[in-house]
Amino acid sequence: MPTNNPLLGDSALPRFDAILPEHVEPAIRATLAEQRVRVAGIAALPEPTFATVVLPLEQMRHRLARIWSPVGHLNGVLNSEALRAAYNSCLPLLSEYSTDLAQSEPLFKAYLAIREREWASLDNEQRAVLERALRDFRLAGVALDPARKARFKEVMIELARLQAKFEENVLDATNAFSHRVTEASELAGVNQGLIERAARRASEQGLSGWIFGLDQPTYVAIVTDAHHAPLRRIFYEAWTTRASDRGPSAGMFDNGTLIEQIVQLRHEAARLLDFNSFAEYALADRMAHTVPEVTDFLRQLAAAARSHASAELAELETFAGRKLDAWDLTYYSERLQHSRFQISQEELREFLPLPRVLAGLFEVAEKLYGVTISERDGVPLWHPDVRYYEVRSGRGEPLASFYLDAYARSHKRSGAWMDDCVGRKQLQGALTLPVAYLVCNSLPPQDGRPALLTHDDVVTLFHEFGHGLHHMLTRIAYPSIAGINGVAWDAVELPSQFMENYAWLPQVLERISAEVRSGQPLPASKQQQLIATRSYQAGLATLRQVEFALFDMRLHAEYDPARGARAYELLAEVRGEVSVVPVPEWNRFPHNFTHIFAGGYAAGYYSYKWAEVLAADAFAAFGARNAFDRATAGRFLDSILARGGSRDLLDAFVEFRGRKPDIAPLLQMHGIDTARTAA
């Protein structure tokens, strides 16, 4: 195998300074060829054992993940035509390989034999590895007849291609949009840093005025703060019609056909495995086990929140003095919030420079879990804005590390996420420590000042760092169940949403804030005003998430090949049931709903609310007085963060909390009447 390919070396971290698109496909092809030979040898062993079958397959899984991880990551944060082509060329290869592995009858029988012969001598982690693998074999169709097995593999390969194309279309539609403003009066209320950046962009193109793109910070800032309603509408329409048949790039990157194809193929895959729907298939390895369990949960939340949401919308329209259009809601919500609490997101930017926020965030982790976090230079990076940090125990032992890519830029996917760069592995005496990617899309630094965050940005950063801690503080030895691997999808948001709570505590706000001129923290009065906004319009926010989740679940549970996906018909029904806000006919939200059509949340978007219940209940375990109680934090670390997918998450939660989850702490946190919920 060639050694000059940076993806194939033995460096501890990816060589981001050397990886080129032309390295990608050769590295993947060479690795898969080598692993296929090794798998064939393992499958032919006459007397399989945990040491001769499971351990080498875990090693190979880890090796392939380390090679592919930087490729997938770069495709999201530094997208180019060449890299995209290389990435897409490998998707069918990887899908075919993973399906072949999961459908291997010899391997399946080997795992069964190992369970039968060695179960008594295996520890809990090893048993979890076996049980998860056996479940995955079954869910991949290992027991299918040859024709159905082959068709299942074809479907998986095609789905990988279509889902990648869906995300590409959203990114391309986002990058294709720009809007030029020539009248300064139209920019009243907009963040000055954004205005200056737009002026530079216009100047670079030899034009007067200002040119704005559609990156997430720009979109959010304009619909939140621009006084000029026509400008808000332009950006709202551009954002909500991305990759569709409507809006400024109508038909150019249209995901309509892809939605139909993706849902149809998912349904076909589920039926091949004798599930009634893809939703049932997806729930086979979740905390929630049935579609009614999920929809009843969502409708319970909707019932609790609906009257609150209706009252919040009525109050907003009374404040505005008129009926509101969709592009008015965020703007007047921010104005009403400022009127009531005398605080705004833009005002908070001056108090939330990223370096200070990071220092406070790391201090939270230190207080809770006894870790220390420090920046390290000299590591290959994919962009000058990226930073690299090391995580150590209180005794100075290295535990993990992570990259932080904090700022929005062209050719970078919108949103925020955590992903694994390297998973933890401790096999046959060799330890590999976990490495994470933390990605956000905040406004970059300007004019010699650090990046200034809104409090919403801060909550997002705390959220992703919570995911990162789940990945980095695992103590599990086996890659397939270490960190977030093997964790039930509807519980994977628990650590992230748990961490969000700390972004609202007075003692944390004191530590993460420093006014950019004076260095003074956010005044106590402002802290209290900010904290009071946490439950502001909680009813509307809850219904919005329920709408997305119920649409997703019904789309995948009710699919009928004779009728097609019926995406907008179903969405209209869901909105009629749970929504109270106006949505224009031309809104094309599903066309850019990457969570379910390109990410891992298909028939799983409910996980955000499901895990929010778990997170609020877990945080309530600390009580009202000491959110940094080390004993309680230690139990959360031992029961949840450190355990990865080595045990059922419900059992782990009960171990930590002493009982099953309760919805009441979440409703109480947001001031929603629990009596109405019970009724």
**Continuous H helices in 44-123:** 55-77, 81-102, 105-118
Sole residue written with tokens 């009065």: 525
Q: By the 8 A CB rule, do 438 and 404 touch?
A: yes
- CA dist 68 and 7 (Å) reads 8
Distance, in Å, from the CA atom of 162 to the CA atom of 167, rounded to the nearest integer, reads 9
Q: For residues 554 and 597, what is the distance between their CA atoms, to the nearest angstrom?
A: 14
180, 235 contact by CB (below 8 A): no
Q: Which of 523, 151, 537 is nearest to 312 (CA)?
A: 537
Which residue type is seen at 291?
V
Q: Do 444 and 389 contact (CB within 8 A), yes or no? A: no
405 pairs with which residues across the strands? Answer: 439
Instruction: With CA atoms as reference, report the closest residue to 286 among 126, 18, 2, 488.
Output: 488
Q: What's the CA gap between 26 and 331, in Å, rounded?
A: 50
Cα distance between residue 586 and residue 589, in whole Å: 9
Bridging pattern class, strands 435-442 and 398-407: parallel
CA–CA gap between residue 307 and residue 326 (Å, rounded): 20
Task: Name the catalytic one among 167, 464, 493, 500.
Answer: 464
Which H helix or E strand runs over 562? none
464 is annotated as an active-site residue: yes
Nearest residue to 591 (alpha-carbon basis) of 279, 264, 234, 167: 167
Interatomic CA distance for residues 620 and 661, integer angstroms:
11
Q: Which is nearest to 389 in space by CA: 437, 349, 461, 329?
A: 437
Inter-residue contact 224 to 331 (CB < 8 Å): yes
Token pair belonging to 661:
């989850």
Q: Catalogue the active-site residues.
A: 464
